[in-house]
Amino acid sequence: MDKDDFTDKMKPQDDRRRDDPEEQLWAGNYSVKDMYGTWIITAVLSVTALVVAGVFFLAMIPVVLGVVAVVAVIWIFLLCRLAWRKWSVQYELTTQRFVHQSGILSRTTDRIEVIDIDDVTFNQSIFDRMFGVGTITVTSSDRTHPTLVLDGIEDVKRVADLIDGARRKERIRRGIHIEAV
C-alpha cells in the first residue's frame, strides 16, 4: 500500500458532512436604550432634589452645593456605567458559533458551539418594551458558560429568534434530533 492509497482511505466517504463556510448572522453589544428607563427616573429624582434644595435651602448655600454635587456624581456614575457596558462586551452569532467577548483592558473570548445551545429565552421590563430592548438568556451544555445572560440587546425578539434558528438549523444539518442533547 503506497502513500496515495492510504490518504484515499482516510478521506471521508460521504462529503456532505464537511463543514459549511461559517457566516456571520448577527453582531452586537450593549444598547444605550437599555438605560433610558434609569435615566428617566434619575432625571426626575435629580430635578426634584434640585428644586427642593433651591426652594427650602436657598439660604444655605453649602446644602444646595452638596445636592448639586451629589446629583453630578450620580450622573457621572451612570455615564461611566454606560461606557463600561457599551465597550466591555461584544457578541457575534455565526452559523456555527456564538462568540462572547468581555473586558476592556484585557479581553476574554468564549465560543459556544451553536449546536450546544439548549434553550434561548428573552425578557423585557416595561421600559425595555417601550424602547425595544431586552435581556436574552442562553442555556447551553458549554462548560464555561452554561447560562449566558446578554443584557441590553436591541431588537431582542429578532436576535433571540436568530440564535434559536441557528441552533435548530445546525442540529438539522448535523442530523441531530432537535429535542436531544
Higher pLDDT, 20 or 76: 76
SS3 for the chain is CCHHHHHHHHCCCCHHHCCCCCCEEEEEECCHHHHHHHHHHHHHHHHHHHHHHHHHCCCCHHHHHHHHHHHHHHHHHHHHHHHHHHHHEEEEEECCEEEEEECCCCCEEEEEEHHHEEEEEEECCHHHHHHCEEEEEEEECCCCCCEEEEEEEECHHHHHHHHHHHHHHHHHHCCCCCCCC
Q: Which structural domain, as residue segments, surrounds residue 47? A: 37-83
Q: Could you tell me if residue 8 is inside a domain?
A: no
What confidence tens digit (pLDDT) does each residue in 87-105 have?
999 999 999 999 999 999 9
> Do 95 and 157 fall within a single domain?
yes
> Do 97 and 158 fall within a single domain?
yes
Q: What value does the mean pLDDT take over residues 36-54?
A: 94
pLDDT value at 177 more than 70:
no
pLDDT value at 19 more than 70:
no
Q: What value does the mean pLDDT take over residues 11-39?
A: 80
What confidence tens digit (pLDDT) does each residue in 138-174 have?
999 988 889 999 999 999 999 999 999 999 999 888 8
CATH number of residue 116's parent domain: 2.30.29.30
